[in-house]
Structure 1
Amino acid sequence: ILSNNHVLANSNDAQIGDMILQPGSADGGTYPADMFAALYDFVPINFNQDAPTCSITKSIAKLGNAAARAIGSAHRLDAFQVSTMPNYVDAALACPLDPQDLDDEIIGVGKVIGMMVNPKLGEKVCKSGRTTGYTNGEITLLDLTVSVNYGGGKVATFMDQIGTTNMSAPGDSGSLGVMFIDQAPYAFGLLFAGSDKITIYNPIKAVADALNITF
């Protein structure tokens, strides 16, 4: 079972062998009645360090926030030290307790038969997720560098990501991004973040290489 670190491994806080619930606890799942799988592997996320001690950096952030307040903006600047170890994927694997509980077809998509490792700008894509179901989008950004707030003061910077038009909402993380080639579905990315304007995917080749999996 392929998903995100922050979905299956609790943003690095889980241990291999921890139980996975289906439905998840947010959807009413309970332990042990809804045990479905066990955490098998995950790629650790390198989180950015605490706020910098540099007085110049802190002053710039303070001035920027004062200007934002003055013009009525709801956005704020936050200074932090970027991790020296870049991230490329937010990915994890779980092993089902009973393989018969799984279906290798994605609702609305079908069975993915391979990977598209060189997606292009403007290509049409889709995904099927827990919150928004089946949605369509278009690739708008490649080689994207983005900082993602995981809550609890955890921020991580990711490089070489894929951006699409908004096609997701919270709870869709872990969905497989798919494009159709000659009417056959190929994976191009693993959805892990987004906003009301953009959805962000890890490139599927980076995910496959990091977890040593194939499609």
Structure 2
Amino acid sequence: MDHGTARETKAQAVDYARELSEQVIRPSDVADGGPALAIGLAPQPDGSYALAVRYRLGLPSVRSIARKVVAEIGRDVDVRRTGRISTLADDPAKVRPRPPVITAHALGETGRARPLRPGISIAHVEVTAGTLGAFVHKDGVVHALSNYHVLAGSPSAKVGDTILQPGPADGGRVSKDKVGTLAAWEELRPGRDATVDCAIALLDDPEVDPEYPVGRITTTAVALGGEQVAKIGRTTSITRGRVTAIELDNVVVGYGEELGEISFDNQIEVESTGTGPFSRGGDSGSLVYRADGVALGLLFAGSESGGENGTGLTYINPIDAVLDALGVTLV
């Protein structure tokens, strides 16, 4: 299918899945009123698109819906099972600080880093640890970009809250590791569909190092599918992957007790092209970019199963949607 036809097929499949969910889905398989069945577009080697259908293991009624959707479409369908998808802060189930984690298993930078640079540990004073993804300008002033669940973490967060580098889970303390304050974010609320999980912090010291392994990244693009991508994160450091689906709707992500599960639309899916995972807990907030140094998205969630090598699938917000939501530009 070409892009236009694939989008029309996707719209029909979404409607059909919702109709089926009202008939057969169990309440325990529903997140905030929507089916735990994500539908989008999967790129094919010849440049065409198949319908991407993603369903969670362990939910029989959702699996049944996925099979019926596939039977209705008939062909050009890419079906994948995923594990439970959750945010990728160091410990997304916790909001309050906890003792420093053992960082020997983290390949990325979990220690104190000055000047600040992409890929290092950072977090709100009452969150554990995530990743500093990029530097952005807002009203001409340099800020750090990461996820809402990394830099804010809770509906109780407020402008001016302390941001630490490294994050509290990596030993960051207010007395010596404050690098800025929470400045702005896109609110996440239970029961309301979302597109982005993002926030920015106003930095105490605007002198930063904006270089990535591919050099400085200042341009963005819309993911079309099939791109070879990379990221640098607090936990898994530099990893490489491939965009396996775009425009995914109903990606249900777990946010712990306070926010529950939130459904995201228009998301990008990435699988690892190496032997290990593309991302793990603590990589939330990483910037995902093409090999030519063009930004595609902001990493925020993942599963521990699925993907070509079985190490999980990663989900990212389209970068232009993130920048637009916050009113910022890449430095």
TM range, smaller chain: 0.7 to 0.9
**Residues 159, 184 of structure 2: 8 Å contact kept:** yes
Among candidates 275, 283, 298, match of residue 172 of structure 1: 283
Deviations 1:59-113 (A, max 9, x none): xxxxxxxxxxxxxxxxxxxxxxxx2x3200000000111112x21112x232102
1: CA distance, partners of 2:155 / 2:266:
21
Paired position in structure 2 for 1:139: 243
Among candidates 185, 197, 204, match of residue 90 of structure 1: 197
Deviations 1:170-214 (A, max 9, x none): 000000010133xxx111000000012200000001101100112
Paired position in structure 1 for 2:319: 204
Paired position in structure 1 for 2:168: 25
Paired position in structure 2 for 1:195: 303
1: CA distance, partners of 2:284 / 2:263:
17
Normalising by structure 1, what TM-score? 0.77
The aligned amino acid for 1:11 is S
What's the CA shift for 1:34?
0.7
2: CA distance, partners of 1:168 / 1:8:
19
Match of 2:288, SS? strand
Equivalence map 1:52-63=2 (5 Å) = none
Tell me, yes or no, if structure 1 residue 11 matches structure 2 residue 11.
Answer: no
The aligned amino acid for 2:291 is F
What's the CA shift for 1:46?
2.0
Percentage of matched positions with identical amino acids: 45
Match of 2:247, SS? strand
Q: Which moved more, 1:142-151 or 1:128-137?
A: 142-151
Deviations 1:93-136 (A, max 9, x none): 00111112x21112x2321020012x122110000000000000
What's the CA shift for 1:137?
0.2
Structure 1: tracts of 5 or more residues without a match: 48-82
2: CA distance, partners of 1:32 / 1:19:
11
1: CA distance, partners of 2:154 / 2:268:
21
Normalising by structure 2, what TM-score? 0.51
The aligned amino acid for 2:323 is A
Structure 2: tracts of 5 or more residues without a match: 1-143, 273-277, 305-311
Runs of 4+ in structure 1 deviating by more than 3 angstroms, as ranges, are none
**Residues 214, 291 of structure 2: 8 Å contact kept:** no
